[in-house]
Amino acid sequence: MRSSESQGLNGKLAESASRGWVDRQLGALTPRQKLAQRLVALPGITNDGRPDQATRAALAAGLGVLHGLTGVSVSGAARYHVEVAETGAERALPPTLVAANLESGIGYTLGDGGTHFPYPRGIGHSDDADLARRLAEDAGREARLVGFHWTFSPCIDVLTERDDPILGVRAFGVDPRRTGVLGAAQVRGYQDGGLLATAKHFPGHGDSPTDTHAALATLPRRPEAHERVHMPPFEEAVAAGVASVMVAHVALPGLGVDGPASLSPVVNRTWLRGELAYEGVIVTDSLRMGAIARSVGTADAAVAALAAGADVANVKCSADEIPAVLDALEEALWAGVLDHEELDRSVERLLRARARLGLHRGHGIDLERCAELDAGEPWRQEGLARTVSTWSRPHLPGPAVVVGDSSLARLVAERLSSRGKQVLYEPAPVDTGSLSSVARKHPDATIVAVTCPLPAEGGRDSAAFACTVHSLRAEGRPVVAVVNSAVPAAELRVGGPAVSVPAVDAFGVVSRASVAAVVEALR
């Protein structure tokens, strides 16, 4: 038999085997287990790093998805995930999916370790779809080694609100067409790397001045902007075969969605299933966010989400809350609030997603390799400097003093020193007095003034920072401004050499790849 014919036959046999596995699993699950498949819970962990009793009980009940651990080493997470896989296998249950926000790599959720990748805004600066794909594929392969299956990324929201309080560096920050191209590239990369990718936050969160972690965002979006600006990236993601779409907690009264999109049949059934012909998994944004939790309890939110057409209710509750949520879902199922046929369709989608990853053949966790990933490091990639924005040719021809009282400033100083630069670090606030004092102490050094506003401040960091930098330059001192920001460097208006670096998100998580990019830009 010729090689191509053999490969075709093997592919058909593999597809048939996975289809048979899906059918057997669906037929073996009880209605309560099927409901459990559609929930996301937080993992509990014992002092010795194992799943706690409540987590084991939830897994035994058929829990479909665990959210990522936090504050755990890479090797510790891998050992935990092995136990999760073994707990399900012992009961012949479908493998529990392990999901997380992996927007800059596994360290984003764990707290450290693994490869540190640039945030999506850095990819937006590069405007390089191949770079976007390679980054996502590398991130996906590494995540699978540790036992992650599902990344809640990329963010393909089109940023039109200058005072956006939450997305910032987590969005590509480019126009709808380029956001769609870069987002689709990352979808393909993550999925080629062995993860389920997620296009979020449908139907677009980039025009919101409200942080939905705190409150529901009601947006005055009109139909023309909806179709022309916010939908194209999701259309591209669906065309790229994205495995899941996450629906946001935004209301769009001008489009007939008066409550949260995440709980809306119009959004799930009409827009996603109907107009976009989307056949993958629909998951809500976390139902513990203030946009929902301020008015709806966990169990009621889960019922509302599934009744509205979501496949997965991202309740993100502790594992010990799962029995009460399942009680409410079972009651809704027998009362007809939830549909039995829709329940089976959703569970089948989730089973097909597992088969797509090959989870019916084993977990694939590499404990030996994971131990090597405990010490995190930046992504080793040519041209990393393209993931920051520069203005007026910033460089350090001689000795330098880094000034700033943030983690970003400290890490920039450390990285510059490790690259052979003659650098001192002054952990002082970046104000006129501090900079003038440092300049007097080091008359022959270039001052690198580092400030780290978070996304709500847009990186335009008030007139105060710009005024401080201008004042020092007026004294004839060389100054390079480095600002955590999602805007182009030219918009910082600091009057001289500047680097706009999308290094720190709204939660304070620093991408060391972005720190490395700053150092490359300052050569």
* 213: annotated active-site residue: yes
The answer for residues whose C-beta is within 8 angstroms of residue 301's C-beta and 6 or more apart is 263, 287, 292, 293, 313, 315
Catalytic one of 213, 320, 344, 431: 213
Crossing angle of helices 176-192 and 232-239, in 10° steps, is 30
The region, left, alpha or beta by phi > 0 then psi within -120 to 50, assigned to residue 36 is alpha
Among 55, 57, 212, 192, residue whose Cα is nearest residue 136: 192
**Residue 357 burial (10 A CB sphere; 0-12, 13-18, 19+):** buried
The answer for residues whose C-beta is within 8 angstroms of residue 43's C-beta and 6 or more apart is 51, 55, 66, 67, 68, 69, 80, 84, 319
Backbone angles phi, psi at 198, to 5 degrees: -130, 125
Catalytic one of 157, 164, 211, 285: 285
Q: Is the separation of the CB atoms in 203 and 226 below 8 Å?
A: yes
Q: Is the separation of the CB atoms in 517 and 387 below 8 Å?
A: yes
Sign of CA dihedral 100, 414, 515, 470: positive
What is the rounded CA–CA span in Å between residue 303 and residue 298? 9
Q: What DSSP character marks residue 73?
A: -
What positions carry a catalytic annotation?
Answer: 213, 285
